[in-house]
Every structure is written in C-alpha cells, then in structure tokens.
Amino acid sequence: MSDSRYRKYIEHVRGDLAMEPSWPPSAVRELGDVGVFRKGHFERKGTLKTLFGLTVKPRPVRRSTTVFHGDSKGTVRVHHNSAIGAGAALVTAEGSLVLEFDKADSVLFHATGCRTREIDGIEDVERLMMELHDRGEWPRRQVVITEVTHAERTTAVMSRKRNDRMALRAAADPMVTGLDLLTASGGLQWAGGSAASLQVLSEGRLTPLYRARGVVRHLFRADEVGYLDDGDEGEPGGDEAECYVDEVSCLDFDDLDDLP
C-alpha cells in the first residue's frame, strides 16, 4: 500500500469523527504509552511509568457504549438487499449488502460497542511534559497516548478508485441486516465486486480510535491551533513562539520523518 493510502484513511476518518484512527486499524493503543510517529505508525518507546515514573489511571466514566460511523462525508453508500449497477452486476441477498464508493480512497468506518477511556489528572501529564521540554529532555516528535477507544467490533473498508462497488455478507448469521451487518459477531466475508485497498471486516476487540498529545508551538496564544517545526531562531516557531501541550495527529509529523 502506498504512503498516500494511510494519509487518506486517517484524513477521512478524522474528518468524520474528529478522532485519530489507529494505523493500521488493528494496532494496539494504551493510555500512557509514549512514542513517536513514522508514516502513521506509532512506535512505542515505553510508558509514562517506565520512562518517567508517572503512574496514570483512566478517568471514571459510566459504562455505556456507543457506535462510531464514518462514510467520508457521504461518499460511501450502503445498499441493503438490493441490486445496483448496469445489469445488476452485484445483487445482495439476506444477510448481505453492497458498498458503493463515489470517490477513490473513500473510507467506510463502523465500530460498535465502543468504550472510550481517558487519563485521569491529565494536568499532571501536561505539567511533566512541559517540565521535560523546558529541560530539553522531551523530543519534539514524542507524544503520549491520552485517550483510547476500545470497540467490540470494527469494520473499515477503503476503495481503490472512483465508483468501486463491493458486496459483503455475514459469515455466520444470515439473519443480521442493515448496518448491524458491518459488525456481525460471526464476521464478514467479501462476496464480489471490486477489491478494497484496505479491508478490516468485523474484527473484534480493537482500539481503532485514540487521541495523543505532544508539545507544539503557538505564535500568539494557547488556544490557537499549534504547529510543529524546527524552531529556528528568527523563524516562525523560534524564540518568539510559546510552547504548549496540545492534541496532535500523526500527520503533523510527516514532514519530520526524514529527520534524525
């Protein structure tokens, strides 16, 4: 898969859900993990506990679950038990559906039984990060995982080209219908049509969404959008810019991948 594929996947899911999608979708994220990003992948270096002696625990939340669904701003259409295309090239039956992608690299993302956990006492984490940064001991590309979403079932499908169509069916329970089919407990099977460039079909117990924080620079104030840069004196992000801890995306680090 080309480098641009991971960017498109992350951009589309972030655009729909305002959360960072794990790359690859099966990757594991845990609260308090410390590491760096390289082309979407999170390279874990340790934890806040093992590296800096700071123990973190999840903030208490009620045990309700939710569903996260994204369709690349409406460019993915789901057809239930119907025929589409010239000559009805793809026809679904009970317990199946057809996905139709209006644009290349469009992403259908669907996760159910989701529980989100975040670090309790995040201010202690931010304080530690800034103290280490001020001492020159916090690399500017280093981040902390501060929120994770665990899902009972996750489906993520990405098209290769415009007007791709693909059929999916429940592997074990043909009575499952509608969007519930995307997270059928028995899994999904590809049933015809175009091949996907990314295909995660009703996988169980993943952490498909998360949030991370890093040290970023702001030219004017703490509540504006920050950015990462070399921080050379006299340039944007130099001595005149202030540093703050803020939420970051792995895509913020793409231009740093070639740096030592």
The bridge status of strand 165-170 relative to strand 90-91 is unpaired
Residues ≥6 apart with Cβ < 8 Å to 73: 12, 15, 16
User: What residues contact 106, with CB distance under 8 A and at least 6 apart?
Assistant: 12, 71, 72, 75, 76, 158, 159
Residue 237 has pLDDT above 70, yes or no: no
Q: What is the pLDDT of residues 61-97, one digit of tens each?
A: 777 889 999 999 999 998 876 555 544 456 556 667 8
Mean pLDDT of 138-157: 94
How does pLDDT run across 212-236, given as a tens digit for each residue?
999 988 655 555 444 455 444 334 4
Pairing type for strands 198-218 and 242-248 reads antiparallel
pLDDT tens figures, 2-43: 568 899 999 999 999 999 999 999 999 999 999 999 988 999
Any residues with CB less than 8 A from the CB of 14 and at least 6 apart, and which?
A: 20, 21, 249
Residue located via tokens 């390289």: 38
- Which helix (H) or strand (E) covers residue 13, if one does? helix 3-17
Within 8 A by CB and 6+ apart from 83, the residues are 90, 91, 92
Q: Closest by alpha carbon to 152, among 107, 177, 196, 182?
A: 182
Radius of gyration of the chain (CA): 21
Contacts of 124 (CB under 8 A, 6+ apart): 54
Q: Is 23 left (phi over 0), alpha (psi -120 to 50) or beta?
A: beta
